[in-house]
Amino acid sequence: MRLDFTPHRADDLPAYLVIVIVGHIVVPAVLWIESNYTTPVWISFAAYLPFTFLASLALLQPVKGAVVGLQWALRMHGFDENPPDGIPPV
């Protein structure tokens, strides 16, 4: 039996978590590189921005899946066996 995940929302939590995760990777790396090496600004932007963008895109879907899995494990937001009034059971 396949479960329909369309009524389950993760809202903005995955995006916030991805920002925190990528930020904790990128910011220390940038600080270390910029304090130990002298790089031109254009090289810095050419390196940091694509990495930040690609890392954020790569993490967004797995983090959203983890948030929905956490909601399922805690029986939150529609995963409860006793749905609220007006929502038919699956």
Q: Which two tokens stand for residue 74?
A: 């805690």
| Residue appearing with tokens 């991805």 | 18
| Residue appearing with tokens 């993490």 | 59
Q: In a structure prediction context, what are the per-residue pLDDT tens digits for the chain, which is 90 residues long?
A: 566 666 677 889 999 999 999 999 999 999 999 999 988 989 989 999 999 999 999 999 999 989 988 888 887 766 666 655 665 655
User: In angstroms, what CA-CA distances link 80 with 8, 21, 87, 90?
Assistant: 11, 30, 11, 11
Domain ranges of the chain: 13-73
Name the DSSP letter for residue 84: P
Give the predicted TM-score (pTM) of the model. Answer: 0.76
